[in-house]
A and B are shown apart, each in its own frame.
Chain A
Amino acid sequence: MLEVRNVSAGYGSFRALFDVSLEVRAGEAVGVIGPNGAGKTTLLRVISKIIAPTSGSVVMEGQDLSRVPAHRVVEMGIAHVPEHRRLFPRLTVEENLRMGAFHPEARRRHAERLDFVYELFPRMKERRLQMAGTMSGGEQQMCAIGRGLMSGPKLLLLDEPSAGLAPVIVQQVFSLVRRIRAEGYTVLIVEQNIQQVLQVVDRAYLLEVGTIKQSGPSAELLASPEIRRAYLGL
């Protein structure tokens, strides 16, 4: 479904990614794990075209994204739930969700998807008229994921959905990711919370200082001595 081919990218003279390639197949949940500053967020930002790669390409369902303007990427079926959630704090929950369904195709199915999101997050229905910025971190994360789902994506990009949340809430977020998978969405999730994310995804890539160091099925990575030593403290 999604192919990232030899992508390098950075900000100004700082290079964040070096020749990164990865692939996500339809129906899979794939993780990108690694420490802070490894380039995980940059990778997602390249995929959704917030920044342009200096070389390499991103291909979604056979179509090269380099010729697609940034605001059209979501129409190709890629929804990006950004780092720090980035809700519109002074819009209500319902208005935030409406923004997720901005493109014409999504507008037509707005009511149906809103029902789906409210069924997935009954909490959001209770809070629908509340300003998004006044909710707790966990609720904001639900709203941000809901906003992503409103566009009717084929592929959901999740950037550190567990960051800054209390341990109990982190559990909830990961079980949500499982639930979303079960609904048939393909998921690419970036996480520092390596132990937990490897329980949820099928495969993962380990990203360190901008290059992919290791990749494989979750069980294999969980058993890998380097990962156990460096990231799991075992």
Chain B
Amino acid sequence: MFDSFLLESIINGLLLGGVLALLALGLNLVFGVIDVVWICYAELVMVGMYAIFFLYVYYEVPLAGAIAAAVLGVALLGMILHRFVIEPVLGTAPINQLLVTGGVLFFLQAAATLAFGIEFRNIGIRMPVVEFGDMFFSFARILAFATALVGVLLLWLFLTRTYLGTAIRAISQDREIMPLMGVDPRRIYLITSAIGGGMAGVAASLLVLQYDVHPAIGLSFGPITFMVCVMGGLGNMLGGFVAAFIFAQFISVGGYLFQIEWGYVIAFCFFIAMMFVRPKGLFSR
């Protein structure tokens, strides 16, 4: 018998997968190119969410303007993070890079608590619910899914069709000879960090429509983002993309078949099992 609730949860899983894919994309790009894991990635998203909230609610900037400013702001933050936190320890033991970006995570969380308090803040836009037959979908999620797909497509075109994008892929394969190509590696790293930050900003603009922002918001989707990246193979953008949709299906359909909380439990069990079966990621060679 046709189960429209199951179909609804599958489609909702698909929509959630788009957001997870977008979140994983920036993290994967930075790791794949610079070989550094931004532990504080989800906190960059939080900063973007706060930026949109304050610009829109307190300064009454139109939403589109607030989003554009937040994306640019977080991109700039990504460059600052690279230039002043990561660059000084680049080339030292990898644990140092984890420690400094981990430090930034706590710094941003604490700074947000000090500056904005622990209240949950909502930009107060009620998105309509889309009805299709007897299924219901949140418009915010549909928007997020569409934006994520467009973002992925644009990034892919940039990486494959432009000189700069080709250089970004090349530098991860052989850094030392980049100057022979006329490429300044430091500049490529800064640009990559800006794009990674910009992706976090885009993710922030989609999440702020669905969730309240508070200083610990990073904790609610940071770990999932990391798991998606690891399951797809850290740095493997295609792997991360596919893993995001698999993960989202477990959460959504698992939540429908059992209970919402069980969706996450099943997804994490699947993740742990995959770490034994394919420890280097879905598409490891």
Residues of B within 8 A of A69 (CB): 184
Q: Which residue of the partner chain, among B169, B182, B185, contacts A91 with CB atoms under 8 Å?
A: B169
Contacting chain B: which of A11-19, A94-102, A173-181, A193-201?
Answer: A94-102
Instruction: Answer yes or no: B183 CB below 8 A from chain A CBs.
Output: yes
Instruction: Answer yes or no: A187 CB below 8 A from chain B CBs.
Output: no
| Cβ–Cβ contact A99 & B166, under 8 A | yes
Instruction: Answer yes or no: A72 CB below 8 A from chain B CBs.
Output: yes
Q: How far is the CA of A71 from the CA of B213 in the complex (A)?
A: 44
Residue of B nearest to A69 (CB): B184
- Within the complex, what minimum Cβ distance (angstroms) separates A214 from chain B? 29
Residues of B within 8 A of A147 (CB): 181
Considering only residues 25-74 of chain A, those with a C-beta below 8 Å from chain B are 48-50, 69-74
- Cβ proximity bits B174-200 to A, threshold 8 Å, 1 near / 0 not: 101111111111000000000000000
Instruction: Answer yes or no: B105 CB below 8 A from chain A CBs.
Output: no
| Cβ–Cβ contact A95 & B166, under 8 A | yes
| Cβ–Cβ contact A71 & B179, under 8 A | yes
Instruction: Answer yes or no: A154 CB below 8 A from chain B CBs.
Output: no
| Cβ–Cβ contact A89 & B167, under 8 A | no
- Within the complex, what minimum Cβ distance (angstroms) separates A99 from chain B? 5
How many B residues touch A, CB cutoff 8 Å? Answer: 17
Instruction: Answer yes or no: A151 CB below 8 A from chain B CBs.
Output: yes
Residues of A within 8 A of B174 (CB): 86, 88
Instruction: Answer yes or no: B170 CB below 8 A from chain A CBs.
Output: yes
| Cβ–Cβ contact A73 & B179, under 8 A | yes
- Cβ proximity bits A79-116 to B, threshold 8 Å, 1 near / 0 not: 11010001011110001001111110011000000000
Q: Which residue of the partner chain, among A50, A82, A90, A106, contacts B182 with CB atoms under 8 Å?
A: A106
Instruction: Answer yes or no: B173 CB below 8 A from chain A CBs.
Output: yes
| Cβ–Cβ contact A99 & B179, under 8 A | no
| Cβ–Cβ contact B181 & A100, under 8 A | yes
Instruction: Answer yes or no: B276 CB below 8 A from chain A CBs.
Output: no
- Within the complex, what minimum Cβ distance (angstroms) separates B280 from chain A? 16
Instruction: Answer yes or no: A208 CB below 8 A from chain B CBs.
Output: no
Residues of A within 8 A of B163 (CB): 98, 101-102, 107
- Within the complex, what minimum Cβ distance (angstroms) separates B186 from chain A? 9
| Cβ–Cβ contact A91 & B179, under 8 A | no
| Cβ–Cβ contact A91 & B166, under 8 A | yes
- Within the complex, what minimum Cβ distance (angstroms) separates B192 from chain A? 16
Residues of A within 8 A of B167 (CB): 99, 102
Instruction: Answer yes or no: A75 CB below 8 A from chain B CBs.
Output: yes
- Within the complex, what minimum Cβ distance (angstroms) separates A171 from chain B? 27
Considering only residues 152-181 of chain B, those with a C-beta below 8 Å from chain A are 163, 166-167, 169-170, 173-174, 176-181
Residue of A nearest to B179 (CB): A70
| Cβ–Cβ contact A102 & B173, under 8 A | no
| Cβ–Cβ contact B177 & A86, under 8 A | yes
| Cβ–Cβ contact A50 & B180, under 8 A | yes
- Within the complex, what minimum Cβ distance (angstroms) separates B155 from chain A? 16
- Within the complex, what minimum Cβ distance (angstroms) separates B149 from chain A? 24
List 19 additional contacts besides A72-B182, A102-B167; criterion CB under 8 Å. Answer: A48-B180, A50-B176, A70-B179, A71-B181, A71-B183, A71-B184, A74-B179, A86-B174, A88-B169, A89-B173, A91-B166, A91-B170, A95-B166, A99-B183, A101-B163, A102-B182, A102-B183, A106-B182, A107-B163
A-B contact pairs, 23 of them (CB 8 A): A48-B179, A50-B177, A70-B179, A71-B178, A71-B179, A71-B182, A71-B184, A71-B185, A72-B182, A74-B182, A88-B174, A89-B173, A90-B173, A91-B169, A91-B170, A95-B166, A99-B181, A99-B183, A100-B181, A102-B163, A102-B167, A102-B182, A103-B182
Question: Which residues does B use to contact A, with CB under 8 Å?
Answer: 163, 166-167, 169-170, 173-174, 176-185
